[in-house]
A and B are shown apart, each in its own frame.
Chain A
Amino acid sequence: MRYALLVLGGPYSHQAAHSALRFAHAAIARGHRVETVFFYHDGVYNASHLAAPPQDEPHLVDAWCDLQRTQGTALQVCVAAALRRGLLDAREAERHGKSGASLEPPFELTGLGQLLDIGQTHERLITFAP
């Protein structure tokens, strides 16, 4: 099965992101593919490369990046939801006159049309919300 995940919960504040990651690992262990994760609403905070959790806690941002590196999972972030919450890649940071970027590859900023597209091109789209 080709899965896509929609993550609406911020990291650590809610269980949603933890659950989404655990679902991804379980699905992959069963031989499925998790092709895309889309971050929307407070879920966009999962893409902040500035996150620095204590070393004895799971590092969610690194875990998403691992998923991309090992499985080729696309990590897509809604640009409108990201910008209003301070998640900017280098291009957006420059465009808005900000001194630094908070989002970098493998996360990519994209539009909501992409989320609708994902719903049509994957066999299942599972939502993880707080």
Chain B
Amino acid sequence: MSEITEAPHGDLLVMLRHAPHGGLWLREALDLALVGAAFGQSVSLLLMGDGVWALLQGQGPGPLGQKGSQSTFEMLEMYDIERLYVDVDSLEARGLTRDDLLLPVIGVSTPELSTVLAGHRQIFNF
């Protein structure tokens, strides 16, 4: 059954498709989302592919001195970024379940992705 209870909509959709610690993709994608929210835009995030790893619990600062993704994700609510879509097939393919995630998410099946994309005026793909 679909978890999308209202038609996806918003000004800005930021797609996260890279795992959190191998580069700056996640950090710089979230920076854009936060700037959008600070400018009063309605912002959604969509995590798919290896991007779903970013929501795994316990992503704190590591030995390389990265800040870790957990603290940034915890800031999202403060910026009113509340719609967090996750491709459930990507979760399943990596042996992950919702219980492994740090925040509540809206699960999206692969056929529903187009609905999410179509509901946003501007899309950035990281």
Contacts and interface: CB of A to CB of B under 8 A. Distances in A.
Contacts of B122: 116, 119-120, 125
A42 B126 CA distance: 12
A120 B31 CA distance: 18
A112 interface: yes
A116 B125 contact: no
Nearest to B125: A127
Interface residues of B, number: 14
B28 A116 contact: no
Given A41-B24, A41-B25, A116-B41, A80 B31 contact: yes
A112 B35 contact: yes
Q: Is the interface of A mostly helix, strand, loop or mixed?
A: helix
Interface string B65-104: 0000000000000000000000000000000000000000
A80 B29 CA distance: 12
24 contacts: A40-B28, A41-B24, A41-B28, A41-B126, A81-B28, A111-B35, A112-B31, A112-B32, A112-B35, A113-B35, A113-B39, A115-B32, A116-B12, A116-B35, A116-B39, A116-B41, A116-B122, A119-B122, A120-B122, A125-B122, A127-B124, A127-B125, A129-B125, A129-B126
